[in-house]
Amino acid sequence: MEMSGASGKVAVITGGAGVIGRALAGQLVEAGARVILADIATSSGEALASELGCSFIETDVRDPDDNEKMIAAALDRHGRLDLVFLNAGVSLQSLGASLPYDPASIDLDAYRRILSVNIDGGVFGVSAALGALARSGGGAIVITASVAGLIAWPPDPVYTISKHGLVGYVRSIAPALAEQGITINAVCPGATGRFEPGQIPDGLAVLAPETLAAAMLDIATDTGTGRAASVVADRQPVVQFHEFAEVEGF
């Protein structure tokens, strides 16, 4: 992406205080965008916003009202909305649930939290943003799914449910959003960030958050829509767009 692609744009990032959110916000600010970080982690979110010179709003993405307030804050502060990165997400591992997953013994709290943060956070975020994006002349939504939304991932089937759901949602609503001048895409990263020994399978390549953030900016500022793009370390190209099998009769 040319750095001017985001210049002057107003961008919202959920999960903004996390590893991916930090990298993405930094690149957006460097590109000249005005950024609103949204996260449930207030202290780290406010600290990052102060460091980068952007705004922060405490947001629980599971709550439709919080999503509406997040978008209203962007409009109040900047008068428009152009880019929305729905990046909040959790997994069994991040919640400290027992691993490996046992389908005969479900941790209901972890199960419900994963589905509510990952799926509801995406659905409610899209719903809240559409009116503001349309009134601003169109824009882009990028949802952070996962490689686990494209493949079977036995280590965490609940996380896999949620990410498959996001990919299907993006593909299903893209045609209607295109009529309003809004693109929507799913970015599907492999393991990203920093991990302790034993947290991921041995030999699995780890993606730098900065590499993922650059891919997210590229996807947000081109014209494609309804796509699922994997972003995986140690391969070329790092970003690959995926086709899906047709089903005869549909």
Catalytic residue among 101, 111, 159, 169: 159
String of DSSP letters for 62-127: T-HHHHHHHHHHHHHHHS---EEEE-----TTTTT--SS--TTS--HHHHHHHHIIIIIHHHHHHH
66 vs 71: CA distance, rounded Å: 9
> Alpha-carbon distance 49 to 175, whole Å?
34
CA dist., res. 82 & res. 8, Å (int): 9
Cis peptide leading into 64, omega within 30 of 0?
no
Determine whether 159 is an active site residue. Answer: yes
* Active centre residues (catalytic): 159
